Amino acid sequence: MFWIIQSILLGISLAMDACAVSMGDGLIEPQMKRRKGIGIAVSFGVFQGVMPLIGYLFGNLFEQWISSVIAIIGFVILMFLGVKMIIEALRHSPEDVKALSVKTILIQAIATSIDALTVGLVYVGSPKSEVYITFLCIACITFLLCIFALEIGKKFGTKLSDKAEILGGIILICIAVKILVEYLIETL
């Protein structure tokens, strides 16, 4: 029964990056339709649940390679997106309406869930029922927390208007730096 509590805590911790990005998305597009917001949360939830499954399925085959590059890939993608958002915000006038593309949302979902690949490696050898319930729990928790974070971002995005995209870019850069710092600490 302890593994259920562990799964919930793991889901919350893995969802934090996705929540921060969701909040940034809400800041960027405060007038976002509910359907799009749910789509963003579903994307983050699905990737957070699928990535550990991929790590689990490939298990020991690629463990050495994945663990050495996973943080760098996440850092590069999130840093690129953050810098790109800030540059675009500075190039456009505050009156320009920002809309997140499906491509951007999918890239964000992948980038924030890359670290979940390594979580799947930890579960190699665990009972399959425990593994699948844990990964489903991660996906559901991520979905729920992202919906909440997105709404907070939308509320503040309306108030921040022209500064929202810059703030969203800064959030992505901070997450990228956090991933890199954690990686460097683990490897030293």
d(CA 51, CA 91): 35
Q: Which of 76-80, 81-85, 89-93, 170-174 has the lowest mean pLDDT?
A: 89-93
- Tell me the whole-structure pTM to 2 decimals: 0.74
* pLDDT confidence bin for 160, thresholds 50/70/90: low
d(CA 89, CA 98): 9
Residue showing tokens 């509590």:
5
> In the chain, where are the structural domains located?
2-187
Number of residues written out for the chain:
188
* pLDDT confidence bin for 77, thresholds 50/70/90: confident
Q: Specify whether the CB–CB gap between 70 and 118 falls below 8 A.
A: yes
